[in-house]
Chains A and B, each alone.
Chain A
Amino acid sequence: MSEKPIEGEKRVFMTGNEVVAWAALAAEADIMYGYPITPQNEVMHYWTRLAPKYGRSFLQTEDEISAGFTTCGGVLSGKRAFTATAGPGNILMQESMTMAEMMRIPTVLVVQQRGGPSTATVIYSQQEVTMTCFGGNGEGLRIVYSTCSHQELYDYTIKAFNVAWKYRFPVFVLGDGYQAKMRESLKMYDPATKGIKMVETQPSLGLAGVPGVDREPSHLRNTYNTEEELCEVVTNLVEEYNKVVPEVVEYETFETEDAEIVLLGHGIVTRAAQAAVKTLREQGIKVGHFRPITIHPFAADELRAICKQAKKLIVIESAQGQFERIVKEAIYGESVPMESYFKPGQGITGEEIVEYVKKGL
């Protein structure tokens, strides 16, 4: 087909939404299905401008329910299909994502969190954590990357396609309005130059040969008749998911080795937490920071190890405890005291974290 969208490596300065579109192109995504919602719109804007040049497709659907289900259809056809959304759109996409979980449809969904509940703001929050990790009538059989920078948006959007197609669970890239709308510099690259091979896709429908003659037909369902049958199906799904967990779980630590106070934050808040650690360390205060990259599944064992030596944990998030609930579940039984710094729907700076930490000394 057309030449590669990005040859080698390229330093650029652009918005996060533009980054996502380029990353999907570089990841050889075939088709995007989407519906307008702020702050995600420019993913579509850039995709619709770039995609035709590289033989890729786009469909603007009637709503996010349709965007999610058409994405499932595209993936079932063996195409690298993706969509992007935010807030109320994320709610509507949960229905199709449960189908993806049940039927092992490797969808990729980029979420640029906006304020909640309801319409709230179009700006920023970390209030879509619970929904993105556990949305729908299911067991949260999905992988959620919480990115903190444009470089990560690029890296993890590419990775999302590969992880989805390798393990066949829906994968989410959890960004936010800040990452979506602000400009910053990053290095875009052709995945091949970094030794990243795109995982091959497989169609589940529309296979070659006459069904019933040359091969068995592909009969896919998500409905089961008995409790026993469903329990077995879900137990197997959970088992397969749990097998995948050690291979996908990712986290980062900053000066946690001797930290007495450990700041817990994810996504863009990690940048404020890292800045706070730097400032506080300069003042001789033993502070560290733990940051999950996969917010679901969660690096529970690694955080537990930190709990053994820390004197205090502080959970920091732009939501009212959605991330904290994940943390609490992960370290259930640990005795280290935990404090929280919540600003639902509002950004958090390094300075205010420093102030908060020092007040509590």
Chain B
Amino acid sequence: MAVVPNMPKSWRVETKPHKFCPGCGHGLVLKALGEAIDELEIQERVVFGCDIGCSLLSWDFFNCDSVQTHHGRTTPVVTGVKRARPDRICIAYMGDGGGYAIGAQHLVNSAARNERITAILVNNCNYGMTGGQMAPTTLPGMKTQTSPYGRDTETMGYPTQGPEMVAAIAREGAYVARGTVANVRRLKRYIKSALQNQIDGKGFSFVEALSGCPTNWSTNAQKTWEFIEKEMPQYFKVGEIKTPGKKEE
């Protein structure tokens, strides 16, 4: 008998195995999201929107109504859905380029308006789908296709501190956290808190997930994990940044 791996109930089995590269972190983030959806029993109410870039490969990932949009435009599409259907649990799933560069205005303004949506952003320090270009989140000195000598902070600035930026703009009621695929249990807790925040109608919720891209980093398994666990947290602090009702850390 075939062994069926343990998958979240909200995953669509027919579209598995998924289409992400081996070693990619998206699968782990989507597993955490799937389990959070299961535990909150919201599968029926979820509208899942995904961006362009690697995140688009999640367009048929869940047994949830889903829409794949344009690069950076998932936040407004999902905002449009939520405004029209406040009873739905609306999730915008994107990468760092989609959220912090081409769609930054949407992320910032949705946060400022305290849209009752949940944005989940996968940070892997580069543009994966297009072949590994420098992203807003590329680490100083890190080599990419468009920073072949390493990111020069003099001319290209420092990595975008996404959750910190969102937390600075979002008002009372917003939930903001940064998790990592190096600790999926904790990441799931953050995603669940973010979704719960939307369910409770408190405000905007945002979770950045630190993730790996061995294909474009040209790293083996060991180096990939070292980078996620040791390099990335030097610039991206994991933890809850804004939690309604709680004192900020």
B93 on the A face (CB < 8 A): no
Digitize B71-113: 1 where CB-to-A-CB distance is under 8 Å, 0 elsewhere: 0010011111111110110000000000000000110110000
Closest to A222 in B: B68
| CB-based contact B63/A212 at 8 Å | yes
B69 on the A face (CB < 8 A): yes
Q: How far is the CA of A219 from the CA of B67 in the complex (A)?
A: 6
A301 on the B face (CB < 8 A): no
Q: How far is the CA of A190 from the CA of B82 in the complex (A)?
A: 29
Which of B52-60, B136-144, B176-184, B188-196 contacts the other chain? B52-60
Q: How far is the CA of A95 from the CA of B73 in the complex (A)?
A: 10
Q: What is the total number of residues of chain A having a CB less than 8 Å from a CB of chain B?
A: 42
Min CB gap A6→B, angstroms: 23
Digitize B27-61: 1 where CB-to-A-CB distance is under 8 Å, 0 elsewhere: 00000000000000001110101001000100110
Q: How far is the CA of A66 from the CA of B69 in the complex (A)?
A: 12
Known: A211-B44, A211-B64. A99 touches B70 (CB 8 A): yes
Closest to A219 in B: B60
B172 on the A face (CB < 8 A): no
A346 on the B face (CB < 8 A): no
Interchain CB contact (< 8 A) of B109 among A61, A77, A81, A209 = A61
Digitize A189-218: 1 where CB-to-B-CB distance is under 8 Å, 0 elsewhere: 000000000000001111101111100011
| CB-based contact B83/A209 at 8 Å | no
With contacts defined as CB atoms under 8 Å apart, how many contacts are there between chain A and chain B in the complex?
A: 139
B65 on the A face (CB < 8 A): yes
Known: A70-B77, A223-B59. A217 touches B66 (CB 8 A): yes
| CB-based contact B81/A206 at 8 Å | yes
| CB-based contact B62/A217 at 8 Å | yes
A96 on the B face (CB < 8 A): yes
B12 on the A face (CB < 8 A): yes
Known: A223-B59, A223-B68. A210 touches B78 (CB 8 A): no
Q: How far is the CA of A79 from the CA of B81 in the complex (A)?
A: 9
| CB-based contact B80/A73 at 8 Å | yes
| CB-based contact B68/A221 at 8 Å | yes
Digitize B131-174: 1 where CB-to-A-CB distance is under 8 Å, 0 elsewhere: 00000000000000000000000000000000000000000000
Min CB gap B9→A, angstroms: 9
Residues of A within 8 A of B (CB): 30-31, 33, 57, 59, 61-63, 65-66, 68-74, 76-79, 81, 95-96, 99, 203-207, 209-213, 217-223
Apart from A79-B84, A95-B70, what are 18 other A-B pairs with CB-CB below 8 Å? A31-B83, A59-B83, A62-B109, A63-B105, A69-B76, A70-B76, A73-B82, A77-B85, A77-B88, A206-B65, A211-B44, A212-B43, A217-B64, A217-B65, A220-B66, A221-B60, A221-B68, A223-B56
